[in-house]
Structure 1
Amino acid sequence: MDTRTELISEIAAFQSKVKVRDSNIGLIALNDPKFVARLREGRRCWPETAKKVRDFMSAAYTHITTADGTVIIRDIASGVTASGSSLAEAYAELRRLLAVKEPA
């Protein structure tokens, strides 16, 4: 199975657990709301891009929403935690923190 086909299967499994539209997955993970639609249409997917989507899906499994609406998200691999007023905002902060943590 190629990267594209595997990723489409993983996205479908993710969507069965976390109700999120295709456009939101692409927007939050890659800042590209048409990514998943293009993927389903047969477009190629680079392994690096697939990793970003997989990282988002993995982190999204580990988020909670507090009573005041704040979303707290945690990267399982590194233990880094971030928060925001929405899942997209919290994930963007998590990406920023992980980029700062990684050596250049």
Structure 2
Amino acid sequence: MLRFTFVFAFVVAACALVALEKYRSEELQARRTAEQVELLQRLEALDRPSVARLVAEWRMTYPEPSADRIGELRDLVRQLQSDPTSIEAPPYSP
């Protein structure tokens, strides 16, 4: 009986830890997604067609961003807010 109690307690503890980790993972992803929404809105506020295309492509490609993608997006926002034309191709000159 003592062994059954120990195994039951172990299983309950393991399930609780798995549920906690799942909750933490979902919470972290929700924060990343919310930050991505805010960063993309900042880019949209630049009101440039090339930036709008980038934002649309980003949303389609990364609907649930990773930590690396959020870092990349932060850098991109900084760059484009300081120079919105940096995304545009230079004019062709023969």
TM-score (norm 2): 0.46
Which has the higher relative contact order, 1 or 2, with Cα contacts under 8 A spaced 6 or more apart?
Answer: 2
Structure number having the greater helix percentage: 2
Structure number having the greater strand percentage: 1
TM-score (norm 1): 0.43
